[in-house]
Amino acid sequence: MELCSKFRSAQVIASVLSLLIWEILSLQAGAGGQISYSAIECRKHTALLTDFGGVGDGKTSNTKAFNSAIANLSQFASDGGAQLIVPPGKWLTGSFNLTSHFTLYIHQGAVLLASQDESEWPHLAVLPSYGRGRDAPGGRFSSLIFGTNLTDVVITGGNGTIDGQGEIWWQKFRGEKLNDTRPYLIEIMYSKNIQISNITLLNSPSWNVHPIYSSDILVQGLTILAPIDSPNTDGINPDSCTNTRIEDCYIVSGDDCIAVKSGWDQYGTKFGMPTQHLVIRRLTCISPDSATIALGSEMSGGIRDVRAEDITAIDTQSGVRIKTAVGRGGYVKDIFVRRMIMKTMKYVFWMTGSYGSHPDPGYDPKALPEITGINYRDMVAENVTYSARLEGIQNHPFTGICISNVTIGLTEKPKKLQWNCTDVQGVTSRVMPPACDLLPEKKKQTDCFFPEDKLPIDNVQLKTCYVRH
């Protein structure tokens, strides 16, 4: 009996082992094997882009192939969902739309090349919370990968690439040759349960990843690269979204690495949808003319409960930056940031209450933004030009600012006025160099608050899914 059961468990162990070895081998095998990935849902049905006439030669347009593949696979939404595999190759494509209960898997050797032919980019109406296009008062080009009114969508890969080929758009923008707002690489609207992970985004025409009016969004393992002088190539822009988790991203760009938004002036106020319950972890940012994390400037629907930790910024203009203006209305409150490392920064802390740019003259000049409950702690910075530039709104100060345990090393030729504060209120504790009089040092040593509870988006469990190819 005993022998028998011992023998049986040995057998079980052996078969588990061989299964493991087989999986490891097939993971490394590439073509002919099986690849695993992590996702919020796995899919019952699988298709390759080539099943729908896709050609990966870098020259043939695959817009039709993507659209017919996704139209076809959308019929499986209520039957276990479907995954579309983009195999190794160069796949030129214009804009296409996603569907629900769907995974787009971009293979390690696959590159989606964004078409430079404007006729491949449909026009969309302006966003209701903006009232106009961001670049120009006209409409906007659809994003390369667009989804609206969806649930349960995954865009992932083994670090496959989406190349926006943005140069031509940057030139047109600089030459004021566009009547419509440039496309983004990925935009998801009015949707929930979204995952965007383990892909590389290159040279977007404008913003890279724009979830808007959506909830339950997981963004993991993105590499986002654009020239540091490219216009408006923001990394990730959560906009009027609830429950978003952004982790393990590496971003080099010409604009803010992460820009948190919620609509623009009177349009954002009327739409009234905040960005809230946002987690940002383990972000590395390089952006010499912009912020690591910007809050605003479009924040008229409100921004609250943002938790950022373990952030690295190198050669970046500022750390966390609050951008707002009279006319915005809305609020930025309950912001928590801890454990930031910064190297070669113009500003560590920057808040601006006079950030211009209004959608049109119809904004309400009496709409004052509330900026309160801003908590920064446990930061080290070196080679800094200005420790802080904190500019609130006259007769309407930014309040509840708390900064603790921050050590700032200065450049060889630092500015004399290291903490330039106007119209702000708050406290500091163990901050070097010492802060301004408006942020007095607390007598009793204080740590600024950082919430320790988990948000619902922290409890999302990923499943192991497979791609056979």
Ligand X SMILES: *[C@@H]1O[C@H](CO)[C@@H](O)[C@H](O)[C@H]1NC(C)=O
Look up residue 228 and give its two tokens.
């540091």
* Sign of the four-CA dihedral 40, 45, 48, 51: negative
- Min CB(26)–ligand X separation in Å: 15
Find out whether 40 and 195 touch, Cβ atoms under 8 Å: yes
Q: Which residues bind ligand X (CB under 6 A)?
A: 37-38, 51-52, 67, 72, 75, 97, 122, 124, 146, 148-149, 156, 159, 177, 179, 190, 197-198, 200, 220-221, 223, 339, 344, 378, 380, 383, 385, 389, 391, 405, 411, 417, 420, 422, 462
Pairing relation of β-strands 34-39 and 463-468?
Answer: antiparallel
- Min CB(150)–ligand X separation in Å: 9
Which lies closer to ligand X via its Cβ, residue 11 or residue 149? 149
Which lies closer to ligand X via its Cβ, residue 358 or residue 415? 415
DSSP 175: T
What secondary structure does DSSP assign to 215-262, as a single string? EEEEEES-EEE--TTSTT--SB--BS-EEEEEEEEEEE-SS-SEEEB-
- Min CB(356)–ligand X separation in Å: 13
Q: Which of 135, 152, 216, 255 is catalytic?
A: 255
How far apart (Å, rounded) are the C-alpha atoms in residues 450 and 458?
Answer: 16
Residue with tokens 């301004």, as numbered in its chain: 436
Strand stretches in 149-236, DSSP E:
151-157, 160-163, 186-189, 192-197, 199-202, 209-212, 215-220, 223-225
- Min CB(259)–ligand X separation in Å: 21
- Min CB(373)–ligand X separation in Å: 20
- Min CB(198)–ligand X separation in Å: 4
Q: What is the CA radius of gyration of the chain?
A: 24
Find out whether 303 and 260 touch, Cβ atoms under 8 Å: yes
Which lies closer to ligand X via its Cβ, residue 34 or residue 67? 67
CA angle 297, 317, 300 (to 5 degrees): 10
- Min CB(272)–ligand X separation in Å: 13
* Sign of the four-CA dihedral 123, 128, 131, 133: negative
Find out whether 219 and 242 touch, Cβ atoms under 8 Å: no
Find out whether 316 and 285 touch, Cβ atoms under 8 Å: yes
Residue 52 pairs with which residues in a beta bridge?
A: none
Which lies closer to ligand X via its Cβ, residue 9 or residue 456? 456
Which lies closer to ligand X via its Cβ, residue 198 or residue 316? 198
Which lies closer to ligand X via its Cβ, residue 213 or residue 363? 213
In terms of Cβ atoms closer than 10 Å to its own Cβ (0-12, 13-18, 19+), residue 44 is exposed
Find out whether 378 and 339 touch, Cβ atoms under 8 Å: yes
Look up residue 435 and give its two tokens.
């802060």
- Min CB(168)–ligand X separation in Å: 13
Which lies closer to ligand X via its Cβ, residue 3 or residue 441? 441
Name residue 458's amino acid. D
**Cβ atoms within 10 Å of 30's Cβ, excluding its own:** 14
Which lies closer to ligand X via its Cβ, residue 21 or residue 432? 432
Find out whether 303 and 328 touch, Cβ atoms under 8 Å: no
437 tagged catalytic: no
Instruction: Please give the positions annotated as active site.
Output: 255
